[in-house]
Amino acid sequence: MVKLSNDDTGIKLRLRLIDELMRDNQNIDAISEIDNILSSFTSNKFKYQLLHYKALAYFRKAERMCCVENFNSKSCILPVNEESFKKNIDIKKANVIWGKLIKEKPWDYQVKWMFNLTNHLLGKNVDRKIEKAFGVNINKSHPIAMDNIANELGIDLGGLAGGVIVEDFDNNGLLDVFRTSWYFDHNCRLYLQIKPNEFVDSTSQFGLAGELGGLNCVQADYNNDGFIDILILRGGWLGNIGKISNSLLKNINGKSFVNVNVENNIITEAPTHSAVWADFDNNGFLDLFISNESQENNYDNEFYLNYAGRLKKVKLDNIGLSFHTFTKGISVTDIDNDGDVDIFISSFGSDNQLYENKINEKGILHFENISNSAGVNKGKYSFSCMFFDYNNDGFDDLFVGGFGDSSVNEAVRAYSGLTPRTGSSIMYKNLGGGKFKDITKDTGLSGIVNVMGLNHGDINSDGYEDIYIGTGSPSFSNLIPNRLFLNSNGKSFEEMTIESQTGSLQKGHGITFADFDNDNDLEMFVALGGWYTGDSFKDFLFKAKKDFSGTKIKLQGSKSNRFGVGAKVELITKSNFKLYKQLFNSSSFGNNPFTLFFGVNNSDVEKINVFWPSGIVTRLNFENIEGNFTVYEN
């Protein structure tokens, strides 16, 4: 190893080396390097930072041992009450160091968080201002309490930051799991559910060996053959070294996948993790929009129209989508119920954008930027985003996840009752007519930061969509819990992270709400893992301890696309309770199955109305629905 000097430049280089050692999980070497510097360096100039790094290295060493090497279904879920942490000498060492540092700089929120986190792990008291984050007083018998069953089913796949798709890829009536991990040599993985609750690794069998990397992935049936295809997205956050091709994987009769990039001209190399499928021109086939991360107008977006299962790239100037921005999320819906699909762009570092579809009677496609008039251009430094109808009024609302400066500081400010300075999430209510209103405070969703993964689903089957958020950033000290917010009758949201026992401390990315076991309620699959190679983790599948009951509806289009993507479904109960869902890729960093789930019991359903992208309306009356139900376009 090259010997570095102890002048300022040398110390800064050695600090960088220490940081890289921790990123690669070489924590013992990092501690040794810190001790060498401290023993030979008399100045106090870098002492505070060196001691913080030393505490962090001790913490990381303990975290890997307690949460990874000795993994169990409750590992690192708040509140943590594990003897392995309470007895761990490295946690105690980290706690002592951070205890001294917080006295020196009580305004250092990063150190404050880590000191209180280690206090919690050791069974000590935490600061009363932020104790709610740690779940000091938990009701373990709460109706929303859940268990992590991923390990039982053999699908605690794990990896680094990545995406997840839960779909029935082989059409055997059981949901399967597809998972990506962003790193260059990490192969994607496919686990098929061959029997109820029995999953097998089918990655090689389905021809997926060699499909590496991928920060995100989205599903579609782009050729209307009835089998779900996959798009893997690569290069996000990597700038110019992220010039990596994406992969369009065609599902061959539920038996294998084949890369069809060349025949569809998907050959652009640009950093991205944001894409969406929708039938923008209403011709019965799903089109593709990919928005790349462009910091200096250096990477164009990509738009592909679908002609009977063959994608053709469109000039962006011709359709009004030639903008450049550092895109971190895309979500689509029909915002004004005019039958055309509109696009929302979440941007990191600039205003967010909403593009209204202005397709004319001749089928000529064009989009118009209505961000300002719609009132949704706020929220710089945002990340994941999603449209969903939170109040069942028939208009899809919009949640934009805030990321901010990616430090834990803003999260601690929020937990302390202060307003975060950057990166707050925003909840917009759709007022109709292309207008939205910021209702973040009114709905109890203020102060949500560090959002990465995001999705929605009715986890307690009360008829209203709930929200689960994957949190974090690359920083090892940004260990704040992933968060669950239950919808209270379409009026507000109540955080139930602690009560539900879903507050994993590990970095959350791809999230899916799905009925894995076909018992007519939802589970939550959460892809966990950070950015650096030393920050991998296992995935979780949360299942409610209480039995809930809902109704699943599958669509099969004829004139519209095969899975009915873009259709709007109205479900009316016998008590005249109306629920609405539009079927699209459910979130910019999470994929629910294309089977719609409504949180009302089958026996309560009276009517179902389906408004297809083609303009056809199917109206059905029922006395009773049992199991899965398919609505056909007619």
Residue for token pair 């890729």: 585
- What integer pLDDT is reported at residue 70 of this predicted model? 87
Closest CA to 529 of 114, 185, 115, 68: 68
pLDDT in tens, 428-483: 999 999 999 999 999 999 999 999 999 999 999 999 999 999 999 888 888 899 99
Task: State the Cα–Cα distance between residues 246 and 459, nearest whole angstrom.
Answer: 33
Whether 264 contacts 253, CB under 8 Å: no
- What integer pLDDT is reported at residue 1 of this predicted model? 47
Whether 242 contacts 293, CB under 8 Å: yes
Residue for token pair 């009024």: 393
Number of CB atoms found within 10 A of residue 22's CB: 23
The identity of residue 36, as a single letter, is N
Task: State the Cα–Cα distance between residues 356 and 336, nearest whole angstrom.
Answer: 9
What DSSP designation does 68 have?
Answer: I
One-letter-per-residue 3-state SS of 298-364:
CCCCEEEEEECCEEEECCHHHHCCCCCCEEEEEEEECCCCCCCCEEEEEECCCCCEEEEECCCCCCC
Please classify residue 364 by burial: count the beta carbons closer than 10 Å to its beta carbon, then call 0-12 exposed, 13-18 middle and 19+ buried. Answer: exposed
Number of CB atoms found within 10 A of residue 82's CB: 18
Task: State the Cα–Cα distance between residues 544 and 490, nearest whole angstrom.
Answer: 21
Alpha helices in 405-531 (DSSP H): 409-415, 497-500
- What integer pLDDT is reported at residue 77 of this predicted model? 92
**Secondary structure element (H or E) that encloses residue 153, with its range:** helix 150-153
Residues paired with residue 289 on neighbouring β-strands, in sequence order: 276, 303
Which residues of the chain are modeled with pLDDT < 70?
1-6, 136-140, 406, 623-627
Whether 166 contacts 512, CB under 8 Å: yes
Residues paired with residue 504 on neighbouring β-strands, in sequence order: 77
Instruction: Give the 3-state secondary structure of residue 132.
Output: helix
pTM for this one?
A: 0.96
Whether 84 contacts 68, CB under 8 Å: no
Alpha helices in 247-394 (DSSP H): 316-319, 371-374
- What integer pLDDT is reported at residue 625 of this predicted model? 61
The identity of residue 550, as a single letter, is G
Residue for token pair 């300075």: 421
Whether 36 contacts 1, CB under 8 Å: no
State the distance between the two ends of the chain, measured CA to CA, in whole angstroms: 72
Task: State the Cα–Cα distance between residues 26 and 472, nearest whole angstrom.
Answer: 21
The pair of three-digit structure tokens given for residue 562, joined into one six-digit string: 């095969």
The identity of residue 557, as a single letter, is G
